[in-house]
A and B are shown apart, each in its own frame.
Chain A
Amino acid sequence: MICAIGLLGLVLLMVILIWQAAGPSIKAFGFSFFFTREWDPVHGRFGALPYIYGTLVSTLLALLLAGPVSLGAAVYVAEFAPRKIKNILGFMIDLLAAVPGIIFGLWGNFVLSPWLAGSLEPRLEHYFGFLPLFRGPATGVGMLAAGIILAIMISPLITAVSREVLEIVPASQREAMIALGATPWEVVRRAVLPYARTGIVGAFTLGLGRAIGETMALTMVIGNRPQISASLFAPAYTMTSVIVNEFTEAVEPLHLAALIHIALVLFLVTLLVNTVARLMIYLMNRRVKKWTV
């Protein structure tokens, strides 16, 4: 009880301190900080919009890429894989989930980016170039690379948690479906997944949290240019990256305050995204109350 309150107090204290440190920036820009695209340390004009955009879009892209793959992997490992393969795969997925971000960043920089620039991006532009998403110079450094790196980083986490969630679906649920004459795939689709959906959303939320907070790997592949471009090939910038890149060289008090202001925004965005995820779980559960089966 005391520990819980203490923890809450600690978080509150952190917010207050960040708030205070961001004071000059909050005073200077107020709400327009959220909507300003300019980031000009020389003239002392700061806006967070490109960073918010970069973080949200790269995260969304990562979820879109990682979601189906992770869920598929979790279903395979939990439901279909023979026991031996299941153990090996499960172990490897858990291991992958623990690899530090910087390693993914290095790999992204030296392997993924050149491949994107030389191979995938020109092809995407050739076949899907009619969409603004896939137009522009193929540099291999930008939003697409960031999304892919993030997807690779969060999919082990989503897979591992989803798998646990699928494995605790009671046998009675599966048997009920089997007894109605369901094929193994129908058992998964109609009994296991619906039963586990709250937990799966939870797994995705965890992945989302990691994606939003990820810093190093992204900084190495996203291109670090504060712009909002429709093209996925174009460089972008995220909130975490700008903080880590500029923190040491921010000599102007306003510059430093603006960076801390971004940290505050990041905090709020994380809070918001998690609240929305919680709300989704709540709404799903309200429609279907739980009882023991």
Chain B
Amino acid sequence: MSYKLRVEALQAWYGQHQVLKGISMPIRANTITAVIGPSGCGKSTFIRCLNRMHEVVPGTRVAGRVWLDGRNIYNGINAVEVRRRVGMVFQTPNIFPAMSIFQNVVAGLYLNGIRGRRQLQERAENCLQQAGLWEEVRDRLHDTAAGLSSGQLQRLCIARALAVEPEILLMDEPCSALDPIASIRIEELMRELKASYTIILVTHNMQQAARVSDYTAYLCDGELVEYESTPEVFIRPKDSRTENYITGRGADTRPL
């Protein structure tokens, strides 16, 4: 299996505070990679570096290389192009409230200058179907998303991210605001999407990581402690810190 993304010596700062202290990990195409670790360990910052969202916050800095299909996204590629190829789903469903369901899905296409009504409609239907939302919203595409449940909203966010046809999907704790049933629904969706996309999932939920991911990375205090296939990490963790964390015996973190 080929590597879709290779992260090399990635470092990131918020002001003077170094959040990532040199992370290197290759990520295979069409897999789900879970990134786990205690709060404040840099999980979110890590995936935000993979589509250059980290630098959006003033006072931040990134060093290192991230190779996307052999091209360093921090050198010679426009950040806007990177974000079109690496989609992102956030912790809370951040739907655009001034837009209809349909407009939300095609918002990214609209940015790309695609305006043809039929084309937009086809893509919207296709993406909503991929996100498993089509049957639920097909009759109210042009209503606002206000009536949807938070699980549905999060799937709408996934559909919106898929619409620009990214190659990689970053998911930053996509289920943390959802109830267990809606979470399971999203997990099923991730497994389906794996066939066409490479997914990197940040999660606090160890069961979720164990259920859906192929590979698991354990981050602690800005360092990559362990990165192996998921069964390996959960059954035979090599590092005692990983073992302590996944068994709930407390993480070895210095105070923040």
Contact A181 B84 (CB under 8 A): yes
Contact B58 A83 (CB under 8 A): yes
Cβ of A282 to closest chain B Cβ, rounded Å: 15
B111 within 8 Å of A by Cβ?
Answer: yes
Residues facing A in B37-53 (CB within 8 A) are 51, 53
Contact B146 A288 (CB under 8 A): yes
Complex Cα–Cα for A182 and B108 (A): 8
B90 within 8 Å of A by Cβ?
Answer: yes
A248 within 8 Å of B by Cβ?
Answer: no
A31 within 8 Å of B by Cβ?
Answer: no
A290: chain B residues at CB < 8 Å are 97, 146
Q: Which listed residue (A180, A197, A293) contacts B111, Cβ 8 A?
A: A180
Contact B98 A197 (CB under 8 A): yes
Residues facing B in A23-59 (CB within 8 A) are none
Cβ of B159 to closest chain A Cβ, rounded Å: 12
Complex Cα–Cα for A197 and B98 (A): 9
Contact B160 A180 (CB under 8 A): yes
Contact A194 B111 (CB under 8 A): no
Contact B97 A181 (CB under 8 A): no
Contact B90 A190 (CB under 8 A): no
Cβ of B145 to closest chain A Cβ, rounded Å: 8
Contact A176 B96 (CB under 8 A): yes
Contact A288 B97 (CB under 8 A): yes
**A-B residue pair count with CB separations less than 8 angstroms:** 80
Contact A195 B96 (CB under 8 A): yes
Specify which of A194, A290, A291 lies most central, judged by the most chain B CB atoms within 10 Å of its CB.
Answer: A291
Residues facing A in B60-96 (CB within 8 A) are 80-81, 83-84, 87-88, 90, 92-96
Residues facing A in B83-131 (CB within 8 A) are 83-84, 87-88, 90, 92-99, 107-108, 110-112
A175 within 8 Å of B by Cβ?
Answer: yes
Q: Which listed residue (A182, A191, A194, A293) contacts B80, Cβ 8 A?
A: A182
Complex Cα–Cα for A178 and B108 (A): 10
Specify which of B51, B56, B90, B98 lies most central, judged by the most chain A CB atoms within 10 Å of its CB.
Answer: B98
Q: A190-B107, A194-B96, A289-B144 are in contact. Are A180 and B161 (CB under 8 A)?
A: yes
Contact A195 B83 (CB under 8 A): no
What mask results when residues 189 to 206 of chain A are scored 1 for a CB within 8 Å of chain B, else 0? 011001101000000000
Contact B94 A180 (CB under 8 A): no
Complex Cα–Cα for A194 and B104 (A): 13
Cβ of B136 to closest chain A Cβ, rounded Å: 17
Complex Cα–Cα for A173 and B87 (A): 15
Q: A181-B83, A181-B84, A194-B99 are in contact. Are A287 and B144 (CB under 8 A)?
A: yes
A291: chain B residues at CB < 8 Å are 97, 146
B90: chain A residues at CB < 8 Å are 172, 175-176, 179
Q: A181-B108, A190-B107 are in contact. Are A293 and B83 (CB under 8 A)?
A: no
B110: chain A residues at CB < 8 Å are 190
B199 within 8 Å of A by Cβ?
Answer: no
Cβ of B151 to closest chain A Cβ, rounded Å: 14
Complex Cα–Cα for A83 and B59 (A): 11
Contact A194 B98 (CB under 8 A): yes
Contact A181 B92 (CB under 8 A): no
Q: Which listed residue (B53, B95, B111) contacts A186, Cβ 8 A?
A: B111
Contact B146 A180 (CB under 8 A): no
B35 within 8 Å of A by Cβ?
Answer: no
Nearest first, the 3 closest Cβ-Cβ pairs linking A and B are: A194-B98, A181-B84, A180-B108
- Which residues of A are at the interface with B, using a C-beta cutoff of 8 A? 83, 170, 172-183, 186, 190-191, 194-195, 197, 287-291, 293
